[in-house]
Amino acid sequence: MGGIALLARAAGHRVTGCDANVYPPMSTQLEEQGIALINGYGSEQLALSPDLYVVGNAVSRGNPLLEEILDRNLPYTSGPQWLADNVLRDKWVLAVAGTHGKTTTTSMLAWILEYAGLKPGFLIGGVAQDFGVSARLTDMPFFVIEADEYDTAFCDKRSKFIHYRPRTAILNNLEYDHADIFPDLAAIETQFHHLVRTMPRSGLVVANGAEASLARVLERGCWSSVERFNTADGWQAVEGRADGRFSVSRGGHVLGETRLELAGAHNQANAMAAMLAARHVGVPIEQGLAAIAQFKGVKRRLEIRGVAKGVTVYDDFAHHPTAIEATIAGLRQRIGTSGRILAVLEPRSNTMKLGTMKSALAASLSGADRVFCYNDKLGWDVAEVLRPLGSLANTFDKIDGLVEAVCAAALPGDHVLVMSNGGFGGVHQKLLEMLAS
């Protein structure tokens, strides 16, 4: 929604926004762009008399501002619908969908097109380091968008990406997630099938060939061309040395090599997908390789927040067990055996709060040397779930207690990996300040 606000402002509108709890980097970005932020959903905001209310999917019935909008029959729309009507209609849309890696892959794709001189518009669910913003509107024909399968709004329970009608789509991976709105994996596969059904014959689906779930999606019907990666007889990102270098091959034939600053084989696969999508709009693989070598990354994706007394503190958005495991593995690849990984986790997503993925949590954290988990009003016993990790795992119901325990355990050369899809009570800065003192 913050990105949509930026696009609306760039289109010439006056924009304000409200939320229950805004936090960096989005709050900082909005303030820098001159967009007023209002904390809370008080009905007194009707006094602003806007021409249109754009309602995000975090807003549900019972919200005081929404109830007043409905009672007074005021004009409103959803964020994705506003995008479709006002931004995407005349664009060549390149959409990036998948359970994991959407933000990073979308940022990579936008950067490759930028590097190639195509100056795309974009909407990303995070702040790309190469652009400094999460959204941009341009007069060029290409628009890159992070395509989320979560539902659209209180009034529209279709997945957001159904509104985007891409000509190029990356299907990166597909696992069960969003247990608060989808009963099972098959229900999410149906939404991906609906996305594919909106694409033209001249379109291209870039699909992860190693994912059985995506194979099932495409088997239900696909009317566009398909390029597969992560397959032995197709496109592959072949991992090289530990310094982040990898090569791109097709059918076993190496086409070139590059170096990616981001750690992990999953990020190299993300880069492969982004290069294939860019190729669809005319960017050669060789130019894509050159662009990837210059890619800086995304805030909150293994982002170093600071170093204090020889201890490095990272911020990462991982919150699904698969992403947690991949993030720890990526950091281990980056640091080698030079220090311990202290994983600090807030199970904050709706899926994690429901306990749907709790059986996979301990295994996903097993690559860390120590685990510190924040237990904030969860409906399940975190300590019991992490019991397989033994004395290496501890749980806390107060952030200050967690910070003290991490700092007491940390040694010079250690790496503290904080993982949450929220603000986590400013825990990163608290860690750095206590470590420094």
Distance from C-alpha of 205 to C-alpha of 196, rounded to nearest angstrom:
8
Is the domain of 183 the same as that of 253?
Answer: yes
Is the domain of 383 the same as that of 275?
Answer: no
Amino acid identity, position 85:
D
Q: How many residues are recorded in the chain?
A: 437
Is the domain of 308 the same as that of 367?
Answer: yes
Amino acid identity, position 286:
E
Distance from C-alpha of 196 to C-alpha of 193, rounded to nearest angstrom:
5
Cα 166–chain centre separation: 19
Is the domain of 330 the same as that of 181?
Answer: no
What are the two backbone dihedrals, phi and then psi, of residue 228, each rounded to the nearest 5 degrees? -110, 140
Q: Which of 292, 321, 341 marks a domain boundary?
A: 292
Residue 369 lies in a domain: yes
Strand partners, 123: 135, 145
Is the domain of 199 the same as that of 323?
Answer: no
- Alpha helices by DSSP H, listed for 284-320, are 285-292
Is the domain of 227 the same as that of 322?
Answer: no
Looking at residue 364, which CATH number applies to its domain? 3.90.190.20
Is the domain of 236 the same as that of 87?
Answer: yes
Is the domain of 320 the same as that of 247?
Answer: no
Q: What is the pTM of this model?
A: 0.79
CA terminus-to-terminus distance, the chain: 38
Is the domain of 139 the same as that of 288?
Answer: yes
What are the two backbone dihedrals, phi and then psi, of residue 87, each rounded to the nearest 5 degrees? -125, -45
| Structural domain range at position 28 | 2-77
Q: Which of 266, 292, 318 marks a domain boundary?
A: 292
- Tally of domains within the chain: 3
Q: Which of 60, 77, 94 marks a domain boundary?
A: 77
Structure token digits, residue 192: 């991906």
Residue 413 lies in a domain: yes
Q: Is the dihedral of CA 167, 172, 178, 181 positive or negative?
A: positive
**Residue among 82, 13, 20, 102 nearest 323 (CA):** 102
Q: Give the CA diameter of the chain.
A: 63
Distance from C-alpha of 385 to C-alpha of 377, rounded to nearest angstrom:
15
What is the per-residue burial (b if ≥16 Cβ within 10 Å, else e) of 155-175? ebebbbbbbbbbbbbbbbbbb
DSSP string of 148-189? --SEEETTEEEEGGGGT--SEEEE-------TTT-SSHHHHH
User: Environment class of residue 1 by beta-carbon count within 10 Å: exposed (0-12), middle (13-18) or buried (19+)?
Assistant: middle
Q: What is the pLDDT along the chain (437 residues), one digit of tens a residue?
A: 999 999 999 999 999 999 987 777 778 888 888 898 898 999 999 999 999 999 999 999 999 999 999 999 999 999 999 999 999 999 999 999 998 889 999 999 999 999 999 999 999 988 888 898 889 999 999 999 999 999 999 999 999 999 999 999 999 989 877 777 888 999 999 999 999 999 999 999 999 999 999 999 999 999 999 999 999 888 988 876 667 788 899 988 899 999 888 777 888 999 999 999 999 999 999 999 999 999 987 777 778 899 999 999 999 888 788 889 988 988 888 888 778 999 999 887 777 777 777 888 899 999 999 999 998 777 788 889 899 999 999 989 899 999 999 999 999 999 999 998 877 888 999 999 999 99
Distance from C-alpha of 217 to C-alpha of 239, rounded to nearest angstrom:
28
Long-range contacts of the stretch 374-377 (C-beta < 8 A, 24+): 374/344, 374/345, 374/346, 374/347, 374/399, 374/402, 374/424, 376/346, 376/348
